[in-house]
Amino acid sequence: MEKEFLEIIRQNQGIIHKVCSIYCDSEEDRNDLFQEILAQLWKSFPSFRKESKFTTWMYRVALNTAITTFKKSKRQPAGSRLTVESFQIADEVYDPATEENIRLLQQAVARLSGIEKSIILLFLESKSYEEIAEITGITQNYVRVKMNRIKKKLVKLMNPAEE
Amino acid sequence: MELKDLQKAWSQFSASQAGKKELDEEQIRTMLDRRTKNLIERIDRNIRVGFVVIFLIILVLVLNDFILSPWLVEGIDHQLRIPGWLLVLDVGINVLIVSLFLLFVISYFRVRRNCSGTCDLRHTLLKTIRVLNFYRQLFALVLVIFLLASGTGFLVGLFQGIHLNGMLPVNLPVVIAVGMVSLLIITGGLFFAFRWIFRRLYGNYLDQLKQTLRELDELE
C-alpha cells in the first residue's frame, strides 16, 4: 500500500503545492503545511474508496487540512511576509505582465478567508461548480453565491483605484 | 484586470512552482517519516493520557472510601460507626463520578469515530472544535471530581472529628460553611485559571474554526 501511495502522491503532488501556495505566505509555512497534508493523506488513504476521482479526494483532504491546521501566531500581520521569490515564475514562461498579475493575485488572496481561498483555488484550477461542491462538501448554490462574492471582492482588492 | 487573466497567470505560476519543487518517492517517504504530531493529535494523546490518570484517581478514591478508610477507622476506634446517610452520600458521589467519567469517555470516542480526514469541511471543522472542547471539559471534569471527592471527604472527616475529639455542636454550622466556601473558592480559582490558560493557548484557533463554520453556515 505504501508503494502505491507514494507513487500516486508523486504523480499528483502539484495539488499539494498549489494548496500550500494559496494558504501560506512564507516558505517555512508552505513546507510545514506540505508535510501536514502529506501526513493526513497517508492517514486517510486506507479510507479512500475510489467512489470519487483520486484528485477530488486529494483536494478534499488537502483543503480540509489547510483550513483546520493550527497556525502558530505570527508577529507580522497576514500577508506581510510575501517575498519577491513568492511571485517568481520559471524563466521559460517569464512574462512581466503575468508576474505582476500573480503578485496582485497573491496579495489579494492573502486577504480572503479560508473557505474563500479554497473556492478561488478550485476556480483557478478551472473546476466546475459541481466539482467544487463535491470537493468542499457544500451545495452548488452556496458555491455559486460565494463565487460571485469572491470575484467581486478580488476585483476590488486588485483594482483599488476603481473604487 | 479580468479573472480570465488571473486563471492564465495562475496556471503558469502553479506549473512553474510544481516543477521547481517536485519530490521523488524517497523524498516523500522521508518527509512522512520526519513528521511530528500535529496539535489535534497531541491533544488527542493528552486526552487519552488524561483518561488513564482520571481512571487511576477514581480507583484510588473508591479504594480509599471502601477499603482503606474503614480499615483505618477500625484501627483507631472500634466504636466509631459512620452514619448511614453519610455512607449513602459517599456511595452516591462515587457512582456519580464513575458515571460522569464513563459518559465523558464514551462521548469522546463517539466524536473521534464520527469523521475521518476525508469528511467534508463542515464535519472536519465540527470534529476539531469538539475535540478542543473536550480537552477543555476534561479539566472541568477533573475539578468536578476534586470538588465532589473533597466535599464528601470533608464531611466524613468532620464526622470523625466530632466523634473522636468531641467538637462542640455549636461550631458545626460555621465549620461546614467555612469548609464548603473554601472548597468552592479553590475549585473556582482553579477553574478560572485553567480557562484562562486554555484561552491563551487555543482561544484564537478555536475562534478561527468557529468563524469558518459560521461562514459555511451563512447561506446553507
pLDDT in tens, B150-172: 888 888 777 777 776 666 666 77
Residue A77: band (very low, low, confident or very high) from pLDDT cuts 50, 70, 90: very low
Is B127 among the domain residues? yes
Q: Which of A21, A36, A38 sits opposite B28 (nearest CB)?
A: A38
The residue with greater pLDDT, B5 or B188, is B188
Is B14 among the domain residues? no
pLDDT in tens, A4-62: 889 999 988 889 999 998 898 888 888 889 999 999 999 888 888 777 888 999 999 99
pLDDT at residue B157, rounded to an integer: 78
Q: Which of B18, B32, B40 sits opposite A42 (nearest CB)?
A: B32
Whether A73 shows a pLDDT value over 60: the answer reads no
Residue B2: band (very low, low, confident or very high) from pLDDT cuts 50, 70, 90: low
The C-alpha cell of B52 is what?
488513564
**Residue from B128, B130, B132, B140 nearest B195 by CA:** B140
Residue B53: band (very low, low, confident or very high) from pLDDT cuts 50, 70, 90: very high
CA distance B195 to A68: 22
Burial bucket for residue B45 (CB in 10 Å: 0-12, 13-18, 19+): exposed
Measured between CA atoms, how close is B106 to chain A, in angstroms?
23
Measured between CA atoms, how close is B160 to chain A, in angstroms?
52
Domain ranges, residue B55: 48-217
Give mean pLDDT, residues B116-124.
Answer: 77
Instruction: Tell me which chain B residues have a C-beta less than 8 angstroms from the C-beta of A139.
Output: 220
The C-alpha cell of B211 is what?
468563524
Report the number of distinct structural domains present in chain B: 1
Give mean pLDDT, residues B23-50.
Answer: 87
pLDDT in tens, A92-114: 555 677 777 777 787 888 888 88
| B90 C-beta neighbours (distance < 10 Å), count | 21
ipTM reported for the complex surpasses 0.90: no
| Chain B contact for A82 (CB, 8 A cutoff) | no
| Chain B contact for A158 (CB, 8 A cutoff) | yes
